Structure 1
Amino acid sequence: MRSPWLWAALVAALGLVVLDAAADGRLGFAVGYGVVALAVAWWTSPWRGRRGGTTHEEVLSMADTDPRKGVVVYWRPGCGFCAMLRARLGALREQATWVNIWEDEEAAAYVREVNGGNETVPTVVIDGIPRTNPDPALVAERLREA
């Protein structure tokens, strides 16, 4: 969810459901749904995961001998597949270069270019070859080689 306005509308809708349940006296449901709504709001937040990371332009300007260029992961906040890749890589994830496509329009355009017009993430570039949602074992193997 890229748009802060769309995210705000989602949060407002979830909040109205919680308030309606509380007004009807269904406090247990309101509390339970409120917890779920907070988790959904956090997970889909357009600001989650923003760290001022690497940009696509910086990746392009890296020397071919730069070890950070060996594995470049294009990702976005709220993506379950990206979160799974990050978790499965464990400590190795620090050796990859992570580019948030929601913060970098050039990165989003690159991901669309290599994925037939879709912003499918994670798109992982390993030694210059883009792979869409690759097996985490493949990514980890390449990171161990570095």
Structure 2
Amino acid sequence: MALPAEDRRVVIYWRPGCMFCQRLRGALGRQGRGAQWINIWQDDEAAAFVRSVNGGNEVVPTVVIDDVPHTNPDPALVKTALAA
């Protein structure tokens, strides 16, 4: 993760074609721009991280809020974190 921890309060791991990722992005709207979005198909370290917190599976979206991973969270949780 290129950004220092204080600059990445909300990190969203996603991949193209994931309908759950599209649902989250749509629900967040413009507010989603406040998150750091990482495509796990373009970042091997990101994919490894997602596997490490999801029992070896590349389940997306995996959202890290204040260093706590959430697998396919309710968009309301992510919105609240982005608004803080």
TM-score (norm 1): 0.56
Higher relative CO (Cα under 8 Å, sequence separation at least 6) belongs to 2
* CA RMSD after TM alignment: 0.8
Q: What is the 5 A alignment of 1:41-80?
A: 57-58=1-2, 62-66=3-7, 69-80=8-19
Larger radius of gyration: 1
Deviation >6 Å, runs of 4+:
none
SS of the counterpart of 2:6? coil
1:62-96 superposed Cα distances (whole Å, 9 cap, x missing partner): 33322xx1100000000000000000001101000
Does residue 137 in structure 1 map to residue 63 in structure 2? no
SS of the counterpart of 1:119? coil
Aligned residues between the structures: 84
Unaligned runs of 5+ in 1: 1-56
Match of 2:55 among 101, 116, 126: 116
The letter of the residue matching 1:114 is V
Match of 1:107 among 26, 46, 49: 46
TM-score (norm 2): 0.96
SS of the counterpart of 1:65? helix
**In structure 2, what is the Cα distance between the partners aligned to 1:107 and 1:73?**
10
**Identity of paired residues, percent?**
60
Unaligned runs of 5+ in 2: none
**In structure 1, what is the Cα distance between the partners aligned to 2:6 and 2:47?**
25
